[in-house]
Amino acid sequence: MEPTFSTRQRGRAHLAEDRKRGAGDLVPSLALCPLPGVHIDALETHDAPMKPRLVELLCCPACGAGLTCHSFEDRPDPKGLALGGEAYGTEVVCGLLACQTCDLAFPIIEEVPRVIRNAFEEYANWFSDQAARISAIEGLGAVSQKIGSVDSSRFDKRSNESFSLQWEKYQYGDKTWFKSDLDQRRDEFLDAMQLTAEQLDGKLVLDAGCGNGRLTASVTRYGAEVVGMDLSRSVVRAQEMREEHAGENAHYLHFVQGNVMEPPFPPNTFDHEHTSGVLHHTPSTERSLDSFLTLVKPGGRVYVQLYRTREPWIGIPNAIIRAFTSRLPLRLLFGICYTVAPLHRLLVLMVAKLRGESSPIEETTRREQAVSLFDNYSPRYQYRYTPSEMQALFENRDLKNVRDVTFDNEARHMVAFAGDK
Ligand SMILES: C[S@@+](CC[C@H](N)C(=O)[O-])C[C@H]1O[C@@H](n2cnc3c(N)ncnc32)[C@H](O)[C@@H]1O
């Protein structure tokens, strides 16, 4: 469904009402503070960079306090202003988000806020390049104090690097998991969430672990405002491509680098939440599910898709091979995946033939196959669940209307449930 102009206007009004009514009380208010002398009007044209609207939604992942946005480079966006009001009327290209309480600071680089605890470590060069601008911010302590302590039970560096490389290898236009994002996956999104396009219109939706962000972007075409969050640097290219994938709805699409185990959003922020193929890659599926669930408003719909426990004849060899491959240097492993992809394809087709089935791998390119193989063999964590285990995960957390919504076309590998908070 292509929403009309007036529908989107109504949608934003709903969001504003929702914010006034409930979660909005918890959402920190925006403080956009251009530094004197560094407001830059004549920048190169970028497609819809980060909006102040996203800052309204964000909070410090460490202490939950609000963030103040110090803009180093921004420009007005008259179209955003007309469509959604002031929160959409400025585009922040580069800046710093400073916690109002705990002394952490998070960079906005290439239009994307990086609200992860280890931002200072991951973006050390950026902090050093921007040192003069940062030290000009009144009341902000020394940059060296902005180092967040990284807890390995919540943050895995290999996952971050592995998925960053995986999405760097992926080319926009490739299929994702052998499906097209802009039609098949977008249509399936409604079945997954068990919502109609009309029910999504005007809602605020989180896609946690959004990967390449293509599905995330396509969902804005239902009239929803969508936030894509990912631990990896995939969000940078997702942001670059968002106009192309979301069209005129790109104003209602936001990307943030964030960790679902330490989310940069206050509780009860989103109307609905979606996460596919993500939580089993974190150090603890249960704990990441808990923090994911805090973010949705009471009554909101959640969809979670996890890896399914495989038959032993596949599951055991897979675990043995992974024990070795998930320790290999990332680029070496990607090279191996690319090299063996044709052989793997042949094996998959043979097994499919023996089963009397067809396989989507038939229609895929070598790069798409290599990305998919790497996705299986590289990540450190890969927990698997049976449908009854997943049902228990949902029911033990008091979710209502819990149902198995696994698609037939992925039931061999995945298990997916929807429920209401
Ligand atoms: C298999 S991909 C799935 C991507 C996307 N949801 C999809 O369905 O195409 C898993 C994604 O989860 C992200 N991820 C892993 N751990 C995460 C975490 N702790 N917080 C946020 N994202 C995470 C990875 O960076 C990766 O992009």
**Residue 281 Cβ < 6 Å to ligand 1:** yes
Residues 23 and 123 in one domain: yes
**Residue 210 Cβ < 6 Å to ligand 1:** yes
In a domain, 362, yes or no: yes
Examine the fold and report which residue of 150, 184, 212 is the final residue of a domain before the chain moves on: 150
Coil, helix or strand for 309? coil
Least confident stretch, 107-116, 165-174, 205-214, 270-279? 165-174
Residue 146, pLDDT score: 58
Residues 223 and 282 in one domain: yes
Residues 31 and 165 in one domain: no
Where residue 208 falls among pLDDT bands split at 50, 70, 90? very high
Q: How far is CA 409 from CA 253, 285, 415, in A?
A: 28, 24, 11
ipTM above 0.85, yes or no: yes
What is the arithmetic mean of pLDDT over 407-416? 92
d(CA 255, CA 179): 22
Residue 145, pLDDT score: 55
In a domain, 155, yes or no: no
Q: Please give the distance, rounded to the nearest whole angstrom, from the Cα atom of residue 147 to the centre of ligand 1.
A: 24
Contact 259, 231 (CB under 8 A): yes
Residues 168 and 71 in one domain: no
Token output for 155: 């943050």
Token output for 299: 């009554």
Examine the fold and report which residue of 125, 150, 175 is the final residue of a domain before the chain moves on: 150
| CATH number of domain containing 36 | 2.20.25
Token output for 325: 């491959």
Residue 49, pLDDT score: 61
The overall average pLDDT reported for the chain is 85
Token output for 330: 């990332």
- Give the strands of the sheet with 225-230, arranged side by side: 253-257, 225-230, 204-208, 270-276, 296-307, 414-420, 400-404
Coil, helix or strand for 179? strand
Residues 119 and 25 in one domain: yes
d(CA 72, CA 37): 9
Residues 263 and 410 in one domain: yes
Residue 1, pLDDT score: 29
- β-pairing, 414-420 with 400-404? antiparallel
**Residue 71 Cβ < 6 Å to ligand 1:** no
CB atoms within 10 A of CB 394: 21
Provide the residue range defining the domain that includes 227.
Answer: 160-309+385-420
Examine the fold and report which residue of 150, 170, 196 is the final residue of a domain before the chain moves on: 150
**Residue 276 Cβ < 6 Å to ligand 1:** yes
Least confident stretch, 68-77, 106-115, 206-215, 399-408? 68-77
What is the arithmetic mean of pLDDT over 85-96? 88
Q: Which residue lies with its CA nearest to atom 14 of ligand 1?
A: 209
- 24-44, pLDDT tens digit by residue? 333 333 334 443 333 323 233
**Residue 263 Cβ < 6 Å to ligand 1:** no
* Number of helices and strands in the chain (H, E): 17, 11
Residues 246 and 271 in one domain: yes
Residues 244 and 346 in one domain: no
In a domain, 320, yes or no: no
How many domains in the chain? 3
- 366-396, pLDDT tens digit by residue? 999 999 999 999 999 999 999 999 999 999 9
Q: What's the first-to-final CA gap in the chain, in angstroms? A: 27
Q: Please give the distance, rounded to the nearest whole angstrom, from the Cα atom of residue 12 to the centre of ligand 1.
A: 28
Q: Which residue lies with its CA nearest to atom 17 of ligand 1?
A: 231
